[in-house]
């Protein structure tokens, strides 16, 4: 979806060290970081959220085996909204466009 908006996500590239790596956390501004670069101020992903984020490019092939809960959906939505706003130079507190909100919030 973000590629269609022209702001594709590099899901296996740390935004700090620029190395291909397993992503561990996000900065709250839409940047993904590896475990080595993560700080305590970063938002670490839960194991299930991390698995889902890694599978995003081919998520349709895995939907039958994933069991989501509201916490994980909220965690992923929080990251995606941070990413969206960071790449549109908007404040995350700004009123969300209803279309973006419904697409990103729909479990």
Per run of 10 residues, the mean pLDDT along the chain (length 107 residues) is 60 85 80 87 87 83 87 88 75 48 51
Q: Report the pLDDT value the prediction gives residue 99, as an integer from 0 to 100.
A: 47
Phi, psi for 98 (deg, rounded to 5): -60, -35
Domain ranges of the chain: 23-105
pTM of the entire predicted model: 0.66
Q: Report the pLDDT value the prediction gives residue 3, as an integer from 0 to 100.
A: 57
Q: Report the pLDDT value the prediction gives residue 105, as an integer from 0 to 100.
A: 54
Cα–Cα distance list, 77 to 19, 95, 102, 105 (Å) = 25, 16, 11, 6
Hey, which residues does 61 pair with through a beta bridge?
none
Cα 53 to Cα 6: distance, rounded to the nearest angstrom: 19
């Amino acid at each position: 979806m973000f590629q269609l908006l022209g702001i594709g996500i590099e899901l296996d590239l740390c935004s700090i060290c620029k190395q291909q790596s397993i992503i561990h956390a996000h900065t709250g501004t839409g940047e993904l970081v590896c475990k080595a670069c993560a700080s305590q101020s970063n938002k670490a992903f839960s194991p299930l959220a991390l698995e889902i984020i890694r599978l995003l490019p081919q998520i349709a092939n895995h939907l039958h085996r994933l069991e989501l809960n509201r916490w994980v959906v909220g965690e992923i939505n929080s990251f995606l909204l941070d990413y969206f706003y960071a790449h549109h130079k908007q404040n995350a507190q700004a009123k969300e466009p209803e279309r973006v909100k419904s697409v990103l919030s729909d479990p």
